[in-house]
C-alpha cells in the first residue's frame, strides 16, 4: 500500500472514503495516538489490516494488543518463526476464518516457511500435526483438556514438545481463536471476502488517513519509510508468487494425493496469496461447541476461579516458561478492563464496572468458569437478550456470525461501543482458554 495525497486516486481505483454516519468523538490525544500507531503498523507491514483499524477506536488497547502480538510472532521465543505463523493458520482455520488464514499464509512464506506445508496438515512434521488435538479442544470445548493431553505431547520420543514450546503454542492458539471471534464479530471477515473494507483508508474520528498524512501528528519519516517498504514489498510479493507457481507445477501431475480445492490464487494487485479451501487444515470438522450447562456430567467439573486464577496461577506459569509474555498478556487484560463504557452502562442502568463484569463473567460461564463471589442473576438483569445472543454467537460459533448482526445489535450504540464489546469478547475468551490449558500443564508438572 502506497500512501497518496488527497488529490490522487486510491491504488484500488477508488478515492478514500469516510465512514458515513459513524462519527466517533475522540480526544485529540486519542486521535494522535491512533494515528501514530497506524503509521507504525504501515511502516512495518506495508498495509493497515481491518483488525487494526477497528481496534483503533480504542488506541490504548490497540497499543497493548500490537505489543503482545509482535512479541508472540516476531521476538525471540521457543518456537521457530514459521511454526508460529502455521499455528496461527491452524487456529484460525478451526473457525473458518479466511481473513486470518490468508494473512498468515503470506507471513509464513515471508519468514521462509516451506510452501509444501500450505497443502495441509498431512504435509507438516508430525510434531506440529500432533498439536491439532489441543487446538481442536481449546477452540470449542476447552473444559475437556487434561494433563493426559499435555503428557502425550511432551512424551512422544523425537516428536516431543518442550514445556516452553508448548506454552508458546498454547498462547498462540488461544490468541488466534479469540482473534477469530473479533474478526467475525466486527465484520472484518465478510468485508475481506467481498474484497472490500468498510474501514479502508479511514481513521477513528471520521478522518481520512490520506488527509492525516500531511498533519503534524504523523511522523513523516515513518511515512517515507513506509513508501520505500511498500515498493520493496512489491518485489517480495513477486518472489512469493513465483514460489507458489512452482508448487503448482510440481504437484500438477499428482492430483490424486492432493487435498481437493487446494489451489491458491492472488489478488489483482498481488497483496495476498489466497487459500480456496480450509478443510486441509482441520481434522474432525464436526467437533464443535457444546453448551456446558446442558452436559450430562455432574457439576463437579465446574472451573472455579478461586481454585485456579490468572492472577494467582496462570500469570506466573506463563512468565516462568515463556519470559515476559505473561506481563504483556496481563497488560492487555487490564487495559480492556480499564476502557471506559459509561454510555453503554448508563443505557443499561448500571455502573460501567458492573456492565463489563457481566459480559466477562457471562462469557466465562459459557465455558464452565464460575466466580463464587458473583451473582449471576445480574447477567439477565443488565444484558439484553439480543446482546446475549450476539455475545454467545461471536464467542462460541464465530463462523456463524452474520455481518448484519454487528450492524443491527444495539442500533442506538456507536460503532466504537460495539467494538468495545467485541474486545471484551476477545479477551474473556482468550483468558478462558488459557486458564484451562495452563491448569492442565500445572497438573502435569505436579503429578
Q: Which residues are catalytic?
A: 97
CA–CA separation, 379 and 361 (whole Å): 8
Distances (CA, A) of 238 to 12, 110, 111, 226, 241: 18, 12, 15, 18, 5
- Read off the C-alpha cell for 413: 450504540
CA–CA separation, 192 and 180 (whole Å): 13
CA–CA separation, 163 and 154 (whole Å): 7
CA–CA separation, 432 and 309 (whole Å): 10
Amino acid at each position: 500500500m502506497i500512501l497518496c495525497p488527497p488529490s490522487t486516486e486510491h491504488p484500488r481505483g477508488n478515492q478514500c472514503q469516510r465512514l458515513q454516519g459513524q462519527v466517533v468523538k475522540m480526544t485529540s490525544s486519542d486521535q494522535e495516538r491512533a494515528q501514530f500507531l497506524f503509521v507504525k503498523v504501515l511502516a512495518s507491514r506495508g498495509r493497515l489490516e481491518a483488525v487494526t483499524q477497528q481496534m483503533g477506536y480504542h488506541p490504548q488497547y490497540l497499543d497493548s494488543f500490537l505489543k503482545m502480538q509482535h512479541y508472540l510472532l516476531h521476538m525471540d521465543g521457543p518456537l521457530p518463526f514459521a511454526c508460529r505463523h502455521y499455528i496461527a493458520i491452524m487456529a484460525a482455520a478451526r473457525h473458518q476464518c479466511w481473513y486470518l488464514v490468508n494473512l498468515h499464509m503470506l507471513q509464513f512464506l515471508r519468514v521462509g516457511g516451506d510452501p509444501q506445508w500450505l497443502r495441509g496438515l498431512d504435509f507438516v512434521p508430525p510434531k506440529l500435526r500432533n498439536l491439532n488435538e489441543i487446538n481442536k479442544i481449546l477452540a470449542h470445548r476447552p473444559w475437556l483438556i487434561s494433563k493426559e493431553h499435555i503428557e502425550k505431547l511432551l512424551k512422544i520420543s523425537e516428536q516431543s514438545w518442550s514445556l516452553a514450546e508448548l506454552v508458546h503454542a498454547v498462547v498462540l492458539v488461544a490468541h488466534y481463536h479469540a482473534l477469530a471471534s473479533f474478526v467475525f464479530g466486527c465484520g472484518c471477515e465478510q468485508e475481506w471476502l467481498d474484497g472490500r473494507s468498510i474501514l479502508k483508508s479511514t481513521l477513528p474520528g471520521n478522518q481520512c488517513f490520506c488527509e492525516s498524512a500531511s498533519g503534524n501528528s504523523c511522523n513523516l519519516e515513518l511515512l517515507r519509510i513506509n513508501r520505500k517498504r511498500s515498493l520493496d514489498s512489491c518485489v517480495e510479493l513477486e518472489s512469493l508468487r513465483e514460489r507458489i507457481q512452482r508448487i503448482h507445477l510440481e504437484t500438477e501431475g499428482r492430483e490424486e494425493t492432493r487435498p481437493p480445492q487446494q489451489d491458491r490464487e492472488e489478488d489483482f494487485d498481488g497483496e495476498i496469496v489466497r487459500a480456496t479451501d480450509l478443510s486441509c487444515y482441520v481434522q474432525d470438522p464436526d467437533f464443535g461447541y457444546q453448551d456446558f450447562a446442558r452436559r450430562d456430567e455432574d457439576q463437579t467439573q465446574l472451573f472455579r476461579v478461586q481454585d485456579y486464577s490468572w492472577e494467582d496461577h496462570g500469570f506466573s506459569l506463563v512468565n516462568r516458561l515463556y519470559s515476559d509474555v505473561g506481563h504483556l498478556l496481563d497488560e492487555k487484560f487490564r487495559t480492556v478492563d480499564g476502557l471506559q463504557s459509561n454510555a453503554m452502562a448508563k443505557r443499561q442502568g448500571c455502573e460501567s464496572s458492573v456492565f463489563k463484569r457481566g459480559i466477562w463473567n457471562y462469557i466465562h460461564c459459557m465455558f464452565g468458569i464460575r466466580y463464587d463471589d458473583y451473582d449471576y442473576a445480574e447477567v439477565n438483569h443488565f444484558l439484553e437478550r439480543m446482546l446475549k445472543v450476539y455475545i454467545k454467537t461471536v464467542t462460541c460459533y464465530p463462523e456463524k456470525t452474520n455481518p448484519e448482526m454487528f450492524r443491527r445489535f444495539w442500533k442506538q450504540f456507536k460503532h466504537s461501543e460495539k467494538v468495545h464489546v467485541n474486545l471484551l469478547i476477545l479477551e474473556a475468551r482468550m483468558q478462558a482458554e488459557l486458564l484451562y490449558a495452563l491448569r492442565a500443564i500445572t497438573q502435569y508438572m505436579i503429578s
